[in-house]
Chain A
Amino acid sequence: MTERMFVQGNEAVGWGALYCGCDGFFGYPITPQNEVTQWFAHEFPKRGKVFLQSQSEVGSINMLFGGAAAGFRVMTSTSGPGWGLMQETISHCVAAELPCVIVLVQRGGPGAGSIRHAQMDYITATRGGGQGGYKNIVLAPSSVQEIHDLIQLGFHLADKYRNPLVILTDGILGQVSESIEVKTIDFGPLDKKLWALRGRERQEDGKSRIVNSAVGVLPLPPYPNYISWLKHIEEKYREMEGSELRYETYEAEGADLILVAYGYTARVSKEAVNMARAEGHKVGMIRPITLWPFPYSVIREKAMLGCKFLVVEDSLGLLIDDVKIGVEGRTDVHLVGILDRHIPTDGGMIMPGRVFEEIKRLL
């Protein structure tokens, strides 16, 4: 069944989750993601699904830990300070191999920062922000339709790899409304969650299960010790890197300058590319859809051809580090960042005109 709707980015989170069989949402109020939590409060209970407002973001993420362990598709949504609070248990979810989806609607930081849009949580989202140096796939939509689609892909990949997954949006994408197609997307079959807790007598084999994140303290079968288990998750990370890389290129063929951006600034950058192309400049764009794994090889390929790079992100420069890793020092990497907003306030934005100015300066 397909429905066409005119919805906000934050609401598209809900429609995407509903259409891919999400069982429970656990959340705590924080701006600018409140429409997400409110959508679930309105739409989930009447469909027999679970919505629960937790006592804190620490509560929300630990509810995901429990719900995922019981074999359900569970998710939460948060922003800046709430994201900080969730880090410990995201790490526990990786260790206990519990699939869940966390939507991070970015706002300005650090600290309480601002309650408006920004792109300042890139590093903690892509580098395993909690203890112990783990990995999780990060999906970065840049339209309301893509929010709906990537939530569904997110649940599929979380289940496939038994790993938490982050959907990284921002205050602009959350607030903007667009017309979208709402439908269930088929990503193929998944294994049954035979490892999940149901109560011993409800297990198909009648045997009890343990889900534990302290694998180095109490080894769990089939891993005889801590290092053999670490080898297993390392193999899982390598498989994610090998199979799940996603990106979009726009006018990148034959370009002298490549813009790199994700989320709302990718929309801005596309507009700037169009402005430049209209004046005959050879400018293109690479838009990573997975921020981890990151398309280093695609960046490297362009760097080897001598392309310059311009990173457009609403921060002091975080994504730019990944672009530099891809470029390996072969060419220049420039930034249009949060200091280039059209007005110097929390409500300011990076505008296409400002990006175009920088393009002209660099060419």
Chain B
Amino acid sequence: MNKKKVCGNPKIWKDPPGAVMYCPGCQHPVIHRIISEVLEDMGIDGKAICVLGVGCHAFVQISWNLDILSSAHGRALDSATAVKRLNSDAIVFTVQGDGDCIGIGAGAFIGAMVRGEKITTIMYNNTNYGTTGGQLAPTTLLGQKTATTPHGRDAALEGYPVHTAELAATFKGTAYSARGSVHTPADYQRTKRYIKTAFQKQIDGVGFSFVEVLSACPPNWHLSPVKCLKRIGEDIVSEFPLGEFKNEDSTERLSKSK
């Protein structure tokens, strides 16, 4: 019988991949895998420089065979800006959590979009600060119980969930903005397409490109992995709709975009 390998670790995954740092049912490694596949498919992993934020996503540095800068909390886009400006033919991308990107790092995030940096950002949104024990994040849903909103997020006290992909689309310097998820195989494929498009915008030199990806956090959501997928498909997607919010092909079009 002929055996054909149909699945395995991505080539840029170190062998052995290092300690497994993720909780059962966490979807961060699934998103890591998509980014790995995209970098390999596009043949850009050798000239990629990844800048990580601070959060669970940053544990990927143990596993990725890429040049990696682990930045200060929230400052990945400032550091990535200098890397790209000084090294314009490198592929520079940041991997950040929702708290890192639009909480503590909101200033750096907006600064990069205002300048239209030719950088790609992948933001993992698990609606809480996972690493520190599940506290309120800017993306936490109304009513969601976290370690610092024990009675659920109350709009009168903590405001409303932030829509990062929609916000990114409002900046003229942004060439591409989308939100995907990985809670179904079809969404996995769509998200992969979004991330590929985002890197292509950087290669084409159009502007800043951004993909937000919803990610399950079973221990901090206090749900089983399967119930987490159901929560994403129902509650979270109804707050954070999936799809592309901006897709411009040239800098001329960016300057005319509203």
Contacts and interface: CB of A to CB of B under 8 A. Distances in A.
- A and B from one assembly? yes
Interface stretch (B72-80, B160-168, B170-178, B244-252): B72-80
A50 B67 contact: no
What's the interface size class on A, roughly?
A: 35 or more
Given A55-B107, A208-B65, A65 B70 contact: no
Contacts of A208: 64-68
Contacts of B219: none
B79 A197 contact: no
Interface string A139-153: 000000000000000
B42 interface: no
Interface string B66-104: 111111100100111111011100110000000000000
Interface string A50-87: 10101110110011111101101010000000000000
B87 A70 contact: yes
Interface residues of B, number: 37
Given A70-B82, A200-B67, A210-B70, A62 B111 contact: no
Contact of B46 (A55, A66, A199): A199
Nearest to B54: A214
A199 B68 contact: no
A23 B82 CA distance: 11
Given A24-B85, A197-B49, A199-B46, A59 B70 contact: no
Contacts of A24: 82, 85-86
Which one of B65, B67, B71, B114 has the greatest number of beta carbons of chain A within 10 Å?
A: B67
B114 A55 contact: yes
A89 B75 contact: yes
A56 B81 CA distance: 13
A65 B111 contact: no
Given A72-B86, A89-B75, A218-B62, A66 B81 contact: yes
Contacts of A96: 70
B85 A199 contact: no
A88 interface: yes
Interface in A180-223: 197-203, 208-214, 218
Contacts of A23: 86
B16 to A, nearest CB: 15
A70 B66 CA distance: 13
A69 B108 CA distance: 18
B54 to A, nearest CB: 8
Contacts of A197: 49, 67-69, 83
A69 B66 contact: no
B65 A200 contact: yes
Interface of A: 23-24, 26, 50, 52, 54-56, 58-59, 62-67, 69-70, 72, 74, 88-89, 92, 96, 197-203, 208-214, 218
Interface of B: 45-49, 51, 54, 59, 61-62, 64-72, 75, 78-83, 85-87, 90-91, 107-108, 110-111, 114-115
Given A24-B82, A198-B67, A214-B54, 14 more contacts: A50-B86, A55-B108, A55-B110, A62-B78, A62-B79, A63-B79, A66-B83, A70-B83, A72-B82, A74-B82, A199-B90, A201-B46, A214-B70, A218-B62
